[in-house]
Structure 1
């Protein structure tokens, strides 16, 4: 769903979220465009901390942005997430949730990474299956842009992130109608936003 609705991604590969970023990178290499006809952008920096900074920067320029990470990668970018929430950025972090490595390497499903960022200010959604992961991804972008708050969409690492299930992908026109264009002018949805931006603001 990200390649349909979003414009830009910053990510660093870490199991089990690696395939998410690889899927995005493949779409970029193939010259894919999103539902608004814009070519996708991708930047892979030297680590997850930098990836969070890259994604924040993309979001600050007005791009509908995303990131993909898991486990220790979430821990590494942790401090950057506070700044993203504090700056009222609107990107979505996709998490293939896994246990944190403790006395031995563990890349299997767990919610340690998901709960490690409870205090950052990101809103958090958790998908129970592949269909929910796709649907919640679109919902998260809409929530983020209306509330001016970044969000997390998580799914169980491997148990959901690597499973083959039947799902219904929303049509591109439906995605476009639901999310709108990031450059649209919209009515400010809350009194606080009207105070800051006036009656309308950029999505």
Structure 2
């Protein structure tokens, strides 16, 4: 049945349906609504879960690391500086191979102080060993949260479910909320491979000397590679129950397209509309939506883009001194081609600035009219300012 709910509450509903055992939380805009709703479910008995209020986001992650170590299903959520404060504990969660699910609402990092959307917070955590899944809308946020628990528990890695601040988190839209019995069919009770047991004591998080540390890191990498292998199997299971699927990537009218626009998150919805509008004017481009950032589906992306002449990557993030982060990854994936497409990189929408239809149109027209990209990334929608 469909209900009109906001994107944050789509995640909250999914956590309830997933029969999570332990939730920790610390409020931070624009994530607060996720944890706020879950705390109410726990207080009124809708969720039979232990809710742990903590004094910081670092403690929020530490709490679910401890809980997950005992073999229970766990969840927390955060944004921006909260995620940055969690950084140390993200490494502990992944290094311990704990299937924690984190709801992450993309929000810009300061200074200047900003509560609006960009992807800098989650992408700054790309090397922590967490799977990262980016969502376009509320329905995808709900479905991806359920999917994340199943995937995390199969590969024993934590998963970050990422949504856009305000554009998704605070936008109300129709969302199909599944029946509990259907969720139970897809997501069975968690059976941990390793769990602390007072009757069989052992130690976790011990010193790792040089003769074992590299193998531990290699194990995380192999689990990421295994994620690429089984992702479609899990999605087939999801589709069989809920009749929806998203893929690690989505190709939208990419067949025979000379120009393909690469997007993530809610900007994809705007791009879909611009694509339809421009087709009426005789202009044609494809869209490649990237959902899975870690592990990066380089082979699938390469297959989707290899026949294009030009690729325009729209980044809602920036790595200072380098460029857009998704563009860097896409360029890396395309290196295996002897003659790959030319990659253009555009930066837009930082700090919550709108990525309007006009900006999407500008991306297409600039890419169409140039043979080669300018040196570095091109910033769109900014006001002229003095250098430095």
| TM-score, normalisation: structure 2 | 0.45
1:163 matched to 2:171: yes
Secondary structure at 1:165 match in 2: strand
Residue of structure 2 equivalent to 1:109: 117
CA distance in 2, matches of 1:109, 1:45: 25
Matching residue within 9, 15, 26 for 1:2: 15
Aligned-residue offset at 1:183: 4.0
Secondary structure at 1:29 match in 2: helix
CA distance in 2, matches of 1:183, 1:115: 30
Matching residue within 27, 44, 49 for 1:30: 44
Equivalences, count: 181
CA distance in 1, matches of 2:167, 2:71: 34
Residue of structure 2 equivalent to 1:43: 52
Alignment check: 8 A CA contact 2:28 2:82 kept = yes
Alignment check: 8 A CA contact 2:71 2:192 kept = no
1:154 matched to 2:167: no
Q: Which has the higher contact order (CA 8 A, sep 6+)?
A: 1
CA distance in 2, matches of 1:120, 1:62: 22
Per-residue CA deviations over 1:121-165 (Å, capped at 9, x if unaligned) read 000001100000000001111110000000100100111011100
Which stretch shifts more, 113-122 or 4-13? 4-13
Aligned-residue offset at 1:61: 1.3
User: Structure 1 residue runs of 4+, over 2 Å off?
Assistant: none
Aligned-residue offset at 1:77: 0.5
The unaligned stretches of length 5 or more in structure 1 are 34-38, 186-191, 194-203
- Please show how residues 1-203 of structure 1 align to structure 2 within 5 Å: 1-5=14-18, 6-33=20-47, 39-102=48-111, 104-183=112-191
The unaligned stretches of length 5 or more in structure 2 are 1-13, 194-221, 224-388
Secondary structure at 2:103 match in 1: strand
**Bigger radius of gyration, 1 or 2?**
2
Secondary structure at 2:173 match in 1: coil
| TM-score, normalisation: structure 1 | 0.86
Secondary structure at 1:32 match in 2: coil
CA distance in 2, matches of 1:163, 1:60: 35
Per-residue CA deviations over 1:98-136 (Å, capped at 9, x if unaligned) read 11112x210001101110110100000011000000000
Superposition CA RMSD, Å: 1.5
CA distance in 2, matches of 1:93, 1:67: 5
Secondary structure at 1:15 match in 2: coil
CA distance in 2, matches of 1:7, 1:177: 18
Which stretch shifts more, 59-68 or 175-184? 175-184
